[in-house]
C-alpha cells in the first residue's frame, strides 16, 4: 500500500509539472504552432513576433504576423498584420477540434505583385495552399464562426516596378467548418488566401490599376483558376473591357482590319 501511494504521488507530481509547463509556456507553444503550420500550408516563411493567450478570457492575441512572398517573386512580405484577435469558444473545445467564435484582422498590409508573364504572388500562394491537399495538412481541425479582415491597404506592383496603393475592401467569412464537419488549417488558409485574392482583383478593377501602371494585361491574366472567386469578380474576369468594345464597334464601322481586305482594297 505504501508503494502504491508513493507511485501515486510521483504520478501526480509529473502530471502537475506537465500542466505547469503547458500553462507557463502556452504563448510560446501557440507561436511555434502558427509559424510551423502557416509555413507548411503556404510553402513560404510565416513569422509571428508574439502570441498572448488568456485561458481565463478564452482569447488569444497574435502580434506582428507576416507571410513572405512565394518563390519566384521579390523578397517582400505578401501579407503583414500588426495584430490579430482570436476569440475562442471553450464550450466546443476538444483535443481534436479548436472552436473559434471570431477572428479579427485589423489594418493588414497586402502586397500584390504582378508577374511579367502573367499571374501574381497571391495566385501562386493559392496554388501552394491548394496543393496541401486539404485534410492531409495535419494539425488540429478548426471551426471558425466568423473571420473579419478590415481596414486593409493594398499595394500593387507592376512588372515594371511601378506601384500604387489603394484601400482593400473588407472581407467577412462565416461558418468556416461545423461541429459535424470541421476544417483543417490548410482549408482555412485556402479560403482566406482566395478571399484576399478576390478582393484584390476587385480593387484593381475598380481603381483601374492596370491602366494606371501601364500593365498590358487583362484582369484575367492575373489569375489561373477562378474557382471560389465571387460573382462580381467572375463577371469582371469575363468582361472584355471598354477598350475592346470601342475597338470592335469602330472597327466594324470602318470596315474592320486590313487583313480582311483583298489586294484591291475590297472587302
| pLDDT, tens digit (0-9, with 9 covering 90-100), for 53-69 | 888 888 999 999 999 99
Residue carrying C-alpha cell 471558425: 144
Specify whether the CB–CB gap between 222 and 118 falls below 8 A.
Answer: yes
Q: For residue 247, tell me if it sits in a domain.
A: no
Q: What is the pLDDT of residues 68-109, one digit of tens each?
A: 999 999 999 999 999 999 999 888 877 688 899 999 999 999
Cell of 223: 489569375
Q: Is residue 150 situated within a structural domain?
A: yes
What is the reported pTM?
Answer: 0.78
Phi, psi for residue 104 in degrees, rounded to 5:
-120, 120
Q: Domain of residue 187: give its range.
A: 2-242
The alpha carbons of the chain give a radius of gyration, in whole angstroms, of 25
Which residues are bridge partners to 210 per DSSP?
A: none
Q: Confidence band (pLDDT; 50, 70, 90) for 16? A: very low
pLDDT, residue 134, reads 53
DSSP secondary-structure letter at 183?
A: B
Q: Is residue 248 part of a domain?
A: no
Q: Is 242 a residue whose pLDDT tops 70? A: no
Q: Look over the chain and give the mean of its residue pLDDT values, rounded to a whole number.
A: 81
Structural domain count, the chain? 1
Which residue has 482594297 as its cell numbers? 265
For residue 87, being part of any structural domain is answered with yes
Cβ proximity of 153 and 167 under 8 Å: yes
Residue 158, in any domain of the structure: yes
**Torsion sign over Cα 213, 214, 219, 222:** negative
3-class DSSP assignment, residue 154: strand
Residue whose C-alpha cell reads 485534410 in the numeric block: 135
Hey, is 86 helix, strand or coil?
strand
* 3 state SS for 112-138: EEECCCCCEHHHHHHHHHHCCCHHHCC
Q: Is 263 contained in some domain? A: no
Judge whether 89 lies within some domain.
yes
Query: 3-state SS of the chain: helix, strand, coil percent to 5?
Result: 40, 30, 30
66: cell is: 507576416
> Of all residues in the chain, what percent carry a pLDDT higher than 90?
52
Amino acid at each position: 500500500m505504501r508503494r502504491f501511494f508513493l507511485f501515486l504521488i510521483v504520478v501526480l507530481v509529473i502530471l502537475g509539472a506537465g500542466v505547469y509547463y503547458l500553462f507557463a509556456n502556452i504563448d510560446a507553444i501557440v507561436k511555434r504552432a502558427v509559424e510551423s503550420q502557416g509555413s507548411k500550408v503556404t510553402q513560404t516563411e510565416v513569422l509571428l513576433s508574439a502570441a498572448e493567450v488568456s485561458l481565463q478570457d478564452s482569447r488569444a492575441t497574435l502580434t506582428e504576423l507576416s507571410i513572405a512572398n512565394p518563390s519566384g517573386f521579390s523578397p517582400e512580405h505578401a501579407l503583414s498584420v500588426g495584430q490579430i484577435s482570436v476569440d475562442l469558444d471553450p464550450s466546443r473545445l476538444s483535443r481534436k477540434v479548436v472552436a473559434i467564435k471570431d477572428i479579427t484582422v485589423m489594418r493588414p498590409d497586402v502586397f500584390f505583385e504582378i508577374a511579367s508573364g502573367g499571374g501574381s504572388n497571391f495566385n501562386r500562394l493559392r496554388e501552394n495552399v491548394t496543393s496541401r491537399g486539404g485534410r492531409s495538412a495535419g494539425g488540429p481541425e478548426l471551426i471558425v464562426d466568423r473571420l473579419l479582415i478590415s481596414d486593409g491597404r493594398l499595394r500593387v506592383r507592376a512588372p515594371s516596378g511601378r506601384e500604387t496603393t489603394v484601400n482593400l475592401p473588407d472581407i467577412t467569412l462565416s461558418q468556416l467548418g461545423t461541429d459535424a464537419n470541421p476544417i483543417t488549417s490548410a482549408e482555412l488558409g485556402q479560403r482566406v488566401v482566395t478571399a484576399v485574392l478576390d478582393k484584390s482583383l476587385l480593387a484593381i478593377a475598380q481603381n483601374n490599376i492596370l491602366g494606371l501602371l501601364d500593365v498590358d494585361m487583362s484582369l484575367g491574366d492575373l489569375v489561373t483558376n477562378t474557382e471560389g472567386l465571387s460573382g462580381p469578380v467572375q463577371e469582371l474576369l469575363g468582361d472584355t473591357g471598354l477598350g475592346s468594345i470601342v475597338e470592335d464597334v469602330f472597327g466594324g464601322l470602318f470596315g474592320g482590319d486590313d487583313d480582311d481586305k483583298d489586294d484591291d482594297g475590297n472587302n
